[in-house]
């Protein structure tokens, strides 16, 4: 379809409408954070540790300060005087979250750990001055791997942890022991996934403008979560004593009133899920470290006592994939410096910094035991998971949260009598672990791998073994053994059956045999999953009691005086095309064209609050739902006013192409502006509705099967992917082209994960992949054509959309690794690593020696 001339009446939802975002972006007129350059802004550069683990004996910044182009140099100790530590968030039983400051003053914990901040008139000069700073380090033994971290002799990254273990939590469902004792077979394998990195093409960055009159901060930032950044900056970047905060709170009536209003609103919306929180989390934290009792009051009262919170503005963002969700230590350091100097500051991360600490993910070891009977029936599953979170926990959602999503999702689409998972998070001297597209994805990888291993052991085909154990429509309603309810939206089995029609397995087996005779090695792999997108109402609480507060999305729809339609969302788009899909939804609700709808996002002064912003495949179902229902309310307001104007019953009013009229007489219609003019109101918005949405109820599962065919070249170890098929079911689709783009982009990252990408550290915890020469992002040559097939299973009720952002990356690593193991079948290869570069392939085929 073409552009902005689309007329309504057809229904935009369901069509591959071209993107509203494109015009400015394709002209080079987007506004990414690096494009913002306030008058007189100071440019920042961080001095970073060259060592993985060391104490800081002394730091000398005199020469740097003397440099004529340098305005200020802050050592860590100086900035830490001005700021509060990052507090624990979403505490959980068995977890200790170390508190940490924006810069490191006594000890560095990974290569790249920031120790000082220079501000100069240009980035060139700021970087020049870094070379003038002298730091005297005393090196400590590095903790470079999961094995190091678990060794009793290791140096501790965090003094108060149990060795280097931050989380140790076990959960059992069903009678695990008796199920394992009575099962015919137990298949066990240890899987290991390398450290990967999200690597959006735009790095992180922040430009903080200081209003010279009022001191008010406006933070332009490449963030997936603008409100969280605003609150945390307010809480951490300017330390205040409890006494002065309280005094301010008591004496400033406006401040107090607005706090009370906000608190009431928050409790009304989230009170119930807050009550689900138990004390076990905070107790675990306090057992290890009581310092939060000292810091938290100052942080919280500091918030209450502030007259002025920063405004966060985010406009165009060059991708995130989870890496821009956390509030960065640098964000807080920059804000503190800007406040202290009263000057605007700008920091654009470079790629070397980004590869080191812009976000790593997925480094996990998983030992999986599958208990099953000889007839192929799955009985139980036992998992021992260890996750390497690096040194500093990401805020607000740390690595340990990923282990708990893995716990809930591990059983997948299969029926089990018992399940046990022990989850450990360890600290090492590496960059921080962040959520990366489908942060729990290794549960699918390990599960789908062990199923293939078991199929081989029992003489089943991988597809037969899966089909035999999957939930099917006849089982519904049902529940995963870990809790969440299942309904007809759990259609994974249907996606597998469909994939088996798309890919003719028998034909492939013939081809495989012929090829082998010619010395060519083909393999076929399947992977099946479902993801909560958004999932049923009990989903978040099954991960961590009280986490339901993360679930709500808000939107506000207004009609302005001039009749224009403005929609405000708490979502924070960064490539997902919200401006297009939301305009489709709103245009259908209001009977207008796509071009009539303007979406406002990213500006915390104007958009509704959300803890999370964009992440977790919630933009379509939840963000879209909130947009839909706020627009529907506004439609009713408009119709009620129009009914008076047109002297008709509201039931008879229709809106078509922006023409509001009595059904059947469009010639006598009025416009939105006409109706707005009749409404006596003070503000600019005669019509205005806000809607908070948590989902339509049960279900909310998005499902898929990936099928991958590989050809492995035993000369070079290279893996080609001649065919890649995704059969996905995210329910009704808002915009098929955009859904296909999300699926293909996710698969591309999965291809990278298996064949090319590794944030590898050496035994001294030095990162070996600090440029794109070593961290290999796949190009157009490496990414195969991905066939996408859609099933659209409907479930009762409206707003049946389900998210689709994560799935591509969840399904690809297991489908590809399963295919590679199949290809290398003649060599008896067993794939236990996710990362399979050419050398590994040749090792598995016995062509080269592992050493």
Partner 1 sequence: MTVSFTLNVNGAATEVSTEPRRTLSDVIREDLGLTGTHLGCEHGVCGACTVLLDGAPVRSCLTLAVQADGHEITTVEGLANGDELHPVQQAMHEAHGFQCAFCSPGFMLSTVALLAENPNPSRHEIREELSGNLCRCTGYHTILDGVEVAIRALASDGASGGGDA
Query: Segment near partner 1 (CB under 8 A), from 284-292, 462-470, 564-572, 743-751?
Result: 743-751
Nearest by Cα to 613 from 554, 696, 531: 554
Output the CA–CA distances (angstroms, integers) from residue 186 to 182, 435, 760, 830, in the order listed: 10, 32, 33, 17
The 10 Å Cβ neighbour count of residue 630 is 27
For residue 701, give the 3-state DSSP assignment: strand
Identify residues 790-829 at the interface with partner 1 (CB under 8 A). 808
- Hey, which residues between 757 and 776 contact partner 1 (CB under 8 A)? 771-773
Residue bearing tokens 């037969």: 464
Residues 570-599 vs partner 1: string with x where CB under 8 A?
----xxxx----------------------
Selected range binding partner 1 among 88-96, 348-356, 550-558, 675-683, rule: CB under 8 A = 348-356
Q: Which of 484, 575, 613, 811 binds ligand FES (CB under 6 A)?
A: 575
Other beta carbons within 10 angstroms of residue 268's beta carbon come to 10
| β-strand partners of 701 | 532
CB of residue 329 to ligand FES, shortest distance in Å: 25
Taking the least distance from each CB to partner 1, the nearer of 2 and 58 is 2
Residue 152's binding partner, choosing from ligand FES, partner 1, none, with beta-carbon cut-off 5 to 8 A by kind? none
Residue 367 DSSP code: E
Among 5, 58, 763, 779, binds partner 1 (CB under 8 A): 779
Could you identify the residue written with the tokens 């989870």?
322
Contacts with partner 1 by CB under 8 A: the residue count is 58
DSSP characters over 176-240: HHHHHHH-SEEEEEEEEE--EE---SS--EEEEEE-TTT--EEEEE--S-HHHHHHHHHHHSS--
CB of 319 to ligand FES, least distance (A): 5
Q: Rule CB under 6 A: which of 28-57 touch ligand FES?
A: none
Look at residue 698 and give the partner it binds from ligand FES, partner 1, none, a contact being a CB closer than 5 to 8 Å depending on partner kind. Answer: none
Q: What tokens were used for 446?
A: 């390990």
User: What x/- string results for residues 24 through 63 when contact with partner 1 is judged by CB under 8 A?
Assistant: -xxxxxxxx-xx-x--------------------------
Task: Report, in Å, the least distance between residue 781 CB and partner 1.
Answer: 4
Q: How far is the CB of 778 from ligand FES (least distance, A)?
A: 12
Q: Which of 7, 9, 23, 251 binds partner 1 (CB under 8 A)?
A: 23
Nearest to 754 by CA among 787, 721, 716: 721
DSSP 59: E
* Nearest-angstrom CA–CA distance, 585 and 629: 10
- State yes or no: residue 18 binds partner 1 (CB under 8 A): yes
Least Å distance between CB 495 and ligand FES? 27
Q: Which of residues 313-352 bind ligand FES (CB under 6 A)?
A: 319
CA dihedral 610, 615, 618, 623 (to 10 degrees): 40
Look at strands 42-48 and 114-120 and give their pairing. antiparallel
Q: Which option in partner 1, ligand FES, none does residue 744 bind, with CB closer than 5 to 8 A by kind?
A: partner 1
Binding-site member from 152, 201, 680, 781 for ligand FES (CB under 6 A):
201
Per-residue interface string for the shown chain with partner 1, residues 434-453, x marking contact by CB under 8 A: --------------------
Residue 295, Cβ neighbours under 10 Å: how many?
17
Quick one: 316 or 448, whose CB is closer to partner 1? Answer: 316
Report the greatest alpha carbon distance in the chain: 86
Q: Which residue has 């068995």 as its token pair?
A: 94
Nearest-angstrom CA–CA distance, 15 and 1? 8
Kindly tell me the number of DSSP H helices and DSSP E strands found in the chain. 25, 29
Which residues, other chains included, contact 698 with Cβ-Cβ below 8 Å and sequence gap of 6+?
A: 477, 485, 487, 536, 537, 795
Partnered with residue 44 across adjacent β-strands are: 119
Q: Which is nearer to partner 1, 48 or 449 (CB)?
A: 48
**Collapsing DSSP states into helix, strand and coil, what is residue 558?**
strand
**What is the footprint of ligand FES within residues 300-319 (CB under 6 A)?**
319
Least separation in angstroms between residue 187's CB and partner 1 is 34
The CA distance from 741 to 580, in Å, is 14
Whose Cβ is closer to partner 1: residue 321's or residue 445's? 321
Judged by beta carbon distances under 5 to 8 A according to partner kind, the member of partner 1, ligand FES, none in contact with residue 478 is none
Q: Decide which of ligand FES, partner 1, none touches 517; Cβ closer than 5 to 8 Å per partner kind.
A: none
| Residue 396: cis peptide before it, omega within 30 degrees of 0 | yes
Q: Cβ of residue 626: shortest distance to partner 1, in angstroms? A: 22
Of 65, 216, 351, 422, the residue at the interface with partner 1 (CB under 8 A) is: 351
> Residues 313, 229: contact at Cβ < 8 Å?
no
Q: Residue 289 or residue 350: which is nearer to ligand FES going by CB?
A: 350
Q: Please identify the residue of the shown chain whose CB is closest to the bound ligand FES.
A: 201
Phi first, then psi: give them for residue 52, nearest 5 degrees: -75, -35
List the one residue from 484, 658, 686, 745 that touches partner 1 (CB under 8 A). 745
- From the list partner 1, ligand FES, none, pick the one residue 5 interacts with, judged by a Cβ distance below 5 to 8 Å according to partner type: none
As beta bridge partners, residue 165 has 162, 426
Which partner in ligand FES, partner 1, none is near 574 (CB below 5 to 8 A by kind)? Answer: partner 1
The binder of 35, among ligand FES, partner 1, none, by C-beta within 5 to 8 A per type, is partner 1
Work out how close the CB of 488 gets to partner 1 at its nearest, in angstroms, rounded to a whole number. 30
CA angle 534, 441, 719 (to 5 degrees): 135
Pick from partner 1, ligand FES, none: which does 682 bind, CB < 5 to 8 A by kind?
none
199 vs 403, which CB is nearer to ligand FES? 199
605-626 burial code (b ≥16 CB/10 A, e <16): eebbbbbbbbbbbbbbbbbbbb
CB of 572 to partner 1, least distance (A): 12
Closest CA to 429 of 194, 766, 159: 766
Least distance in Å: CB of 19 to partner 1? 7
- In the list partner 1, ligand FES, none, the entry touching 25 (Cβ below 5 to 8 angstroms by class) is partner 1
Picking from 720, 706, 696, the residue whose alpha carbon sits closest to that of residue 794 is 696
By CB under 8 A, the residues from 304 to 323 that bind partner 1 are 316-319, 321
What CA–CA distance (Å, rounded) separates 836 from 706? 19
Q: Per-residue DSSP letters for 781-806?
A: TTSPPEEEEE-----SSS------TT
CA 740/CA 788 separation, integer angstroms: 7
Of the pair 420, 578, the CB lying nearest partner 1 is at 578
Interface with partner 1 (CB under 8 A), residue from 103, 748, 815, 844: 748
765: its two tokens = 């915890």
Binding mask 115-134 for partner 1 (x = CB under 8 A): ---------x----------
Binding to partner 1 by CB under 8 A, coded x per residue (else -) over 198-227, reads -xxxxx------------------------
User: Near partner 1 by CB under 8 A, which window of 150-158, 440-448, 568-576, 679-687?
Assistant: 568-576
Alpha helices in 2-68 (DSSP H): 22-26, 62-66
CB 304 within 8 A of CB 245: yes
Residues that bind ligand FES (CB under 6 A): 201, 319, 575
Residues that bind partner 1 (CB under 8 A): 2-3, 16, 18-19, 21-23, 25-32, 34-35, 37, 124, 199-203, 316-319, 321, 348, 350-351, 574-577, 737-738, 740-741, 744-749, 771-773, 777, 779-781, 783, 785-786, 808
């Amino acid at each position: 379809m073409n552009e902005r001339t689309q007329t309504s009446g057809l229904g935009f939802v369901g069509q591959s409408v071209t993107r509203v975002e494109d015009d400015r972006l394709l002209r080079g007129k987007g506004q990414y954070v690096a494009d913002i350059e306030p008058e007189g802004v100071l440019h920042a550069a961080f001095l970073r540790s060259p060592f993985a683990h060391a104490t800081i004996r002394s730091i000398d910044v005199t020469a740097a300060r003397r440099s004529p182009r340098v305005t200020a140099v802050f050592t860590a100790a100086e900035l830490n005087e001005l700021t509060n530590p990052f507090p624990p968030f979403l505490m959980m039983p068995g977890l200790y979250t170390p508190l940490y400051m924006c810069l490191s003053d006594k000890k560095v914990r990974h290569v790249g750990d920031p120790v000082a901040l220079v501000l100069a008139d240009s980035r060139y000069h700021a970087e020049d001055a870094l070379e003038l700073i002298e730091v005297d380090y005393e090196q400590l033994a590095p903790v470079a791997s999961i094995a190091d971290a678990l060794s009793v002799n290791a140096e501790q990254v965090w003094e108060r942890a149990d060795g280097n273990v931050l989380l140790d939590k076990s959960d059992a469902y069903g009678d695990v022991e008796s199920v394992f004792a009575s099962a015919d077979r137990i298949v066990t394998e240890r899987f290991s996934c390398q450290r990967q990195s999200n690597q959006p093409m735009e790095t992180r960055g922040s430009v903080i403008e200081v209003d010279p009159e009022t001191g008010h901060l406006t933070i332009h930032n490449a963030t997936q979560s603008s409100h969280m950044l605003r609150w945390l900056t307010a809480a951490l970047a300017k330390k205040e004593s409890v006494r002065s905060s309280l005094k301010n709170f008591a004496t400033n009536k406006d401040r107090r009133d607005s706090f009370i209003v906000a608190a009431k609103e928050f409790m009304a919306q989230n009170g119930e899920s807050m009550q689900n929180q138990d004390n076990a989390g905070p107790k675990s934290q306090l057992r290890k470290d009581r310092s939060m009792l000292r810091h938290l009051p100052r942080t919280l009262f500091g918030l209450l006592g502030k007259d002025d919170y920063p405004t966060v503005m985010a406009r165009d963002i060059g991708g995130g994939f989870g890496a821009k969700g956390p509030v960065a230590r640098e964000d807080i350091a920059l804000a503190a410096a800007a406040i202290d100097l009263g000057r605007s500051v700008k920091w654009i991360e470079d790629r070397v910094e980004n590869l080191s600490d812009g976000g790593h993910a997925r480094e996990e070891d998983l030992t999986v035991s599958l208990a099953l009977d000889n007839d192929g029936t799955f009985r139980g599953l036992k998992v021992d998971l260890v996750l390497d979170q690096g040194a500093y926990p990401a805020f607000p959602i740390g690595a340990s949260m990923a282990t708990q999503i893995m716990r809930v999702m591990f059983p997948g689409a299969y029926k089990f009598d018992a399940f046990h998972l022990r989850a450990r998070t360890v600290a090492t001297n590496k960059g921080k672990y962040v959520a990366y597209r489908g942060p729990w994805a290794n549960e699918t990888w390990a599960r789908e791998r062990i199923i293939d291993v078991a199929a081989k052991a029992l003489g089943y085909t991988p597809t037969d073994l899966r089909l035999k154990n999957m939930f099917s429509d006849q089982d519904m309603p049902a529940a995963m053994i870990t809790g969440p309810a299942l309904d007809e939206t759990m259609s994974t089995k249907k996606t597998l059956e469909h994939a088996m029609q798309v890919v003719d397995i028998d034909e492939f087996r013939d081809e495989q045999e012929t090829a082998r005779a010619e010395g060519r090695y083909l393999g076929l792999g399947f992977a099946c999953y479902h993801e909560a997108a958004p999932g049923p109402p009990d989903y978040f609480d099954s991960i961590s009691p009280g986490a339901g507060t993360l679930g709500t999305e808000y939107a506000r729809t207004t009609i302005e005086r001039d009749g224009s339609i403005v929609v405000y969302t708490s979502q924070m788009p960064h490539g997902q095309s919200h401006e297009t899909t939301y305009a489709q939804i709103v245009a259908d609700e209001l009977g207008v064209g796509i071009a009539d709808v303007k979406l406002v996002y990213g500006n915390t002064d104007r958009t509704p609050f959300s803890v999370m912003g964009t992440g977790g495949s919630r933009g379509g179902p939840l963000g879209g739902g909130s947009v839909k229902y706020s627009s529907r309310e506004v439609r009713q307001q408009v119709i009620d006013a129009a009914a008076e104007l047109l002297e008709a019953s509201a039931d008879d009013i229709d809106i078509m192409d922006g023409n509001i009229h009595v059904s059947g007489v469009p010639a006598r219609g009025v416009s939105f502006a006409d109706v707005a003019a009749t409404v006596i109101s003070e503000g600019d918005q005669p019509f205005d509705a806000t809607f908070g949405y948590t989902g339509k109820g049960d279900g909310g599962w998005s499902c898929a099967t990936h099928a991958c065919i590989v050809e492995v070249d035993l000369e070079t170890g290279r893996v080609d992917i001649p065919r890649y098929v995704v059969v996905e079911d995210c329910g009704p689709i808002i915009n098929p082209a955009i859904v296909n783009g999300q699926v293909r982009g996710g698969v591309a990252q999965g291809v990278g994960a298996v064949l090319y990408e590794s944030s590898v550290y050496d035994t001294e915890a030095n990162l070996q992949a600090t440029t794109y020469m070593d961290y290999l992002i796949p190009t157009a040559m490496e990414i195969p054509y991905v066939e996408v097939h859609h099933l659209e299973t409907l479930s009762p009720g409206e707003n049946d959309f389900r998210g689709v952002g994560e799935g591509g990356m969840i399904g690809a690593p297991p489908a590809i690794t399963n295919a590679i193991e199949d290809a290398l079948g003649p060599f008896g290869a067993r794939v236990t690593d996710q990362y399979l570069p050419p050398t590994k392939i040749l090792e598995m085929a016995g062509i080269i020696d592992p050493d």
